[in-house]
Structure 1
Amino acid sequence: MGYETILVKKEGKVVTITLNRPQSLNFLDPIMGGELERALGDAEKDEGVGAVVVTGAGRAFSAGGDVKFMKEDHTAHEFYQRMESITRFIRSMTCLPKPIVAAVNGPAVGGGCSIALAADMILAAETATFAEAFVRIGLIPDCGGIFLLSRRIGLTRAKDLVLTGRTIDAREAERMGMINRVVPAEALEEETRKLAQELAAGPTMAMGIAKRLLNQSYESDFDALLRLENSHQALLRLTEDHREGVKAFFEKRKPQFKGR
């Protein structure tokens, strides 16, 4: 089954998902949300996939929700149902047991900013911008934006961006700790490819567990997380990837992980 609003391409162990509505700055709606959820589910089930890249077609990463839709009259229940259908893919991103890299090629606004924040690592072109602009139309961040933004940059900075709705450039986003790295626009695709390939070549099971425990760390107390670390570490000791990693260490070579 094909896709209407996204492009999905697999190269080696990396799947690239491209938001593909360039004429409308890759706006989000239930169709795109459902297709993103399906593509992420396929990537999770495919043992040959070690990492996922999310990027945008054209000059924007994503301008977020369809503001034209908001001109129409809907009940609160109708709008809630619409948001539920759109945002399920955000849970898929945060729960995917494989690393996700967002390659932000242009404006990431509103829900588009949340998509980037839901990735595990964010590379941004020098021309990229970020905005949680909801306050400008009397709304609050959605698609997990409040949760994801405050976790990345802390409450003080998150309140600044959410309550003012101001736009920041990639350099300021990097200084805030919102993103991992800024690269020249012409180098974004190549730098993202190299990072994704590096992650995809890693021990998938260990990285998936590490991702889950990091995400749980804000809700867990120290002792509970310590017990989780110990139990998962004991299980990972039995994996082929661990044995290969130890063997490669003593043989002074690069390990060849298989995700098992």
Structure 2
Amino acid sequence: MASKFVTSERDGAVLTVSIARPDRLNALTPAVFEQLTAAIDEGLAAGVRALVLSGEGRFFCSGADIRSDGEGYFGLPQDLGELIDAHYNPFTRKLMDLPIPVITAINGPAVGAGLSIALAGDVSIMAKSGFALLAFVNIGLVPDAGATWLAARAVGRTRAMELALLGEQMSAEEAVRIGLVTRVAEDDKVLEEAQAIAHRLAKGPARAIGMIRKQVNEALDMDFDEVLDRERDNQRILGRTEDFREALTAFGQKRRPNFKGR
């Protein structure tokens, strides 16, 4: 896909999409969101079964770009709510609603809305030299692009409140220790490890993986009885799939199942 601010590469059933504005520390503009969306849609149409999100250069993403991107967008408009409605929220919702797993290869610092994107990963791998920063308070704003929900659900109210109110950098090691991200890797191994996990998931039972993704996210806002009912309903559907029958057959034959996503 021809794109100015995003690169995409498909390796079998795995799509790797990277923000490609290293000169701007991969800062976000409407054009970046549009091109990220287009790259993901193109991959889905081609049948990819796992997505890796990363950035080029030394940053994963520095958050919103307050300068012009050369495409007619001049930094942040006066009505930030309109900008969020038009670009930030649709992209965050898209990531959370995808039927395929998302792995974020956090190759460097993840700041502001860039951290929101990083935390949307089902598995998130951060470079040892990277850091997480909810920088919004430092410029008189509140967390956006889902950062409030994602951070609070990951680490709890008190740690999320500290991150949001103090606006301080958190090291990769600390981010893993408190559960903000899932893994730390050497800087030059982040993308490799993320892609290895993506390939593993791409070989799995696609319908079950999609349902697991949705089920876990929904469980965060359900009571226990609602979760039990949702698990039952999803299990009823998956119990009739070809992948489940293949898994039973493979178990009996003492071999690995060959999942088809059906």
Match of residue 134 from structure 1:
136
- Of stretches 110-119 and 222-231 in structure 1, the one that deviates more from structure 2 is 222-231
Question: 1:103 & 1:90 partners in 2: Cα distance?
Answer: 17
> Is residue 2:193 matched to residue 1:191?
yes
- Of stretches 186-195 and 53-62 in structure 1, the one that deviates more from structure 2 is 186-195
Whether contact under 8 Å (1:244, 1:256) holds in the other structure is yes
> Is residue 2:111 matched to residue 1:109?
yes
Shift of 1:71: 9.2
Match of residue 44 from structure 2:
44
SS at match of 2:156: helix
Q: Percent identity?
A: 38
* TM-score (normalised: structure 2): 0.93
Number of positions where the alignment pairs a residue of Structure 1 with one of Structure 2 = 257
- Of stretches 224-233 and 95-104 in structure 1, the one that deviates more from structure 2 is 224-233
Question: 1:232 & 1:44 partners in 2: Cα distance?
Answer: 23
Question: 1:72 & 1:180 partners in 2: Cα distance?
Answer: 32
* Aligned positions of 1:18-57 closer than 5 A: 18-47=18-47, 49-57=48-56
* Aligned positions of 1:173-188 closer than 5 A: 173-188=175-190
Match of residue 82 from structure 2:
81
> Is residue 2:161 matched to residue 1:159?
yes
Question: 1:154 & 1:127 partners in 2: Cα distance?
Answer: 24
Question: 2:255 & 2:120 partners in 1: Cα distance?
Answer: 34
Residue-by-residue CA offset, 1:159-196 (whole Å, 9 max, x unaligned): 01000000011000000101111111122222112111
Match of residue 225 from structure 1:
227
Whether contact under 8 Å (2:205, 2:261) holds in the other structure is yes
SS at match of 1:9: strand
* TM-score (normalised: structure 1): 0.94
Let me know the Cα RMSD of the aligned residues: 1.7
What are structure 1's unaligned runs of at least 5 residues?
A: none
SS at match of 1:16: strand
- Of stretches 215-224 and 24-33 in structure 1, the one that deviates more from structure 2 is 215-224
Match of residue 254 from structure 2:
252
- Of stretches 172-181 and 34-43 in structure 1, the one that deviates more from structure 2 is 34-43
Whether contact under 8 Å (1:40, 1:93) holds in the other structure is no
Question: 2:98 & 2:76 partners in 1: Cα distance?
Answer: 35
Shift of 1:227: 1.5
Question: 1:94 & 1:67 partners in 2: Cα distance?
Answer: 26
Question: 2:104 & 2:261 partners in 1: Cα distance?
Answer: 22
Question: 2:77 & 2:184 partners in 1: Cα distance?
Answer: 40
| Gap change, CA 1:156 and 1:13, over 3 Å in 2 | same
SS at match of 1:67: coil
Question: 1:165 & 1:24 partners in 2: Cα distance?
Answer: 21
Residue-by-residue CA offset, 1:69-95 (whole Å, 9 max, x unaligned): 69978443xx32222222111111000
Whether contact under 8 Å (2:10, 2:43) holds in the other structure is no
